Amino acid sequence: MTTVGDVIEVLERAYPLELAESWDSIGLECGDRAARVDSVLIAVDPTEATVAEAIARGVQLLVTHHPLLLRGVHSVAFDTPKGRLLHKLIQSGIALYSAHTNADSATGGVNDALAATLGLTVTGPLIPKADGGQGLGRIGVLPAPETLAAFVSRVANRLPETAWGVRGLGDPDRLITRVAVMGGSGDSALENAVSAGVDVYVTADLRHHPALDHSVGGIARGIEVPALVDVAHWASEWPFCAATANVISAGIAGSLKTHVSTVCTDPWTISAFKTEVAQ
């Protein structure tokens, strides 16, 4: 018999807790470590949709990248959004476990999965940890140089589709070989990408001013700064789900089933481009 605790042990070997950032809140959020597990669902976000999927699939454990309870919680009453989810999970006998910034840094975690999905051979972390261990983000190389325009298409084709789409900043003909990636919100690492001298930096949630300052700053400093590719936060972290399914399957002997959620939990669901010419 496999228990929730057995799966947690496997997950924490792959994504050690000590790799988590100090502000993070990770681990078991509800459920009993001694409870039996026959099947697991892995998703980026614990939301109404993924909890409904967990219930529909009859799993006993939902593993997510983002924690449900990251900030202070004073009530889990059913009429609060998070309390409602926790009630549904507990009533359905489903444990919830999250592997967040520990999975960002760990070898084989969020960033290695993103790099592999884009077809990169990883050469090292974008922000190494002081002790020389794993770190945040990854730098990798493409099998052969390609233009930025082709690279933006590569990213769009290899990640799951979202309404947000994929946006690029830079000369479309620029040749790309070395790539930095950071799953999730990565504008705080723009300067690390510049220092690393990569050709392009792929991340999510890039805001107007940091992106503009990066681009204009390169001209002012007389240096060729990395091109930027901005994807939906959910899409950048979704490769974590399959990687985690593999970690669990490899670490648990027996017939435990793993499911990767394909429910898109990106909050943006509609996009439009101007089609009418102003009169």
Contact residues toward Zn ion (CB under 5 A) are: 184
Q: Which is nearer to Zn ion, 2 or 244 (CB)?
A: 244
Q: Which is nearer to Zn ion, 4 or 232 (CB)?
A: 232
Q: CB 65 → Zn ion: shortest distance, Å? A: 6
Q: Which is nearer to Zn ion, 22 or 75 (CB)?
A: 22
Q: Which is nearer to Zn ion, 67 or 184 (CB)?
A: 184
Q: CB 205 → Zn ion: shortest distance, Å? A: 9
Do 228 and 170 form a contact (C-beta atoms < 8 A)?
yes
The HSE-up count of residue 175 (CA atoms within 13 Å, CB side) is 4
Residue 279 is encoded by which pair of tokens?
């009169």
Q: Which is nearer to Zn ion, 46 or 184 (CB)?
A: 184
Query: Which residue sits closest to Zn ion, CB atoms considered?
Result: 184
Q: CB 235 → Zn ion: shortest distance, Å? A: 11
Q: CB 184 → Zn ion: shortest distance, Å? A: 3
Helix (H) or strand (E) holding 140: strand 135-147
Q: How far apart are CA 170 and CA 64, in angstroms?
A: 34
Residue 53 is encoded by which pair of tokens?
């999927």
Do 231 and 101 form a contact (C-beta atoms < 8 A)?
no
Q: How far apart are CA 204 and CA 215, in angstroms?
A: 16
The SS3 call for residue 161 is coil
Q: CB 200 → Zn ion: shortest distance, Å? A: 20
Q: Which is nearer to Zn ion, 60 or 64 (CB)?
A: 64
Residue 111 is encoded by which pair of tokens?
């960033």
Angle CA 172–141–127, to nearest 5: 100
Tallying the residues shown for the chain, one arrives at 279
Q: CB 102 → Zn ion: shortest distance, Å? A: 13
